[in-house]
Amino acid sequence: MRSDIDWPEEARELQIAIGLVAAEEGIAVVPESVRRARTEDVRYLELAEAVSSPIIMSHRIGDASPEIAAFKRIIARKCADWGAAVPEALRAVESGE
């Protein structure tokens, strides 16, 4: 790895990342939905290969509310729509157990 490169800091917020790009201080890989922001000084290009970003669900331990169960079923169905494996933690919910 070259040591003469001034590696940039990581921007943890989309607005900051886009602002740095607009100020010619960086580049960013962002979700497609960011294109709607229509930042005049930023050009958006599609990547040649599809990429994915993890989606994480969290809830209170032991929460067996109908709303949580319904949300888990929706996520399990969406996994199938996306061609992804249903996470082990959702398999019991998916089968109605």
The type of residue at 69 is A
Q: What is the pTM of this model?
A: 0.52
Q: What is the pLDDT along the chain (97 residues), one digit of tens a residue?
A: 445 667 667 888 888 889 888 988 888 888 888 888 777 889 999 888 877 777 788 888 888 899 998 998 898 888 888 888 888 878 766 555 5
- How many angstroms separate the Cα of 49 from the Cα of each of 14, 30, 63? 21, 14, 39
10-23 tens-digit pLDDT: 888 888 889 888 98
- 79, 87 contact by CB (below 8 A): yes
Token couple for 67: 């709303």
Cα–Cα distance for residue pair 93/70, rounded to 1 Å: 9
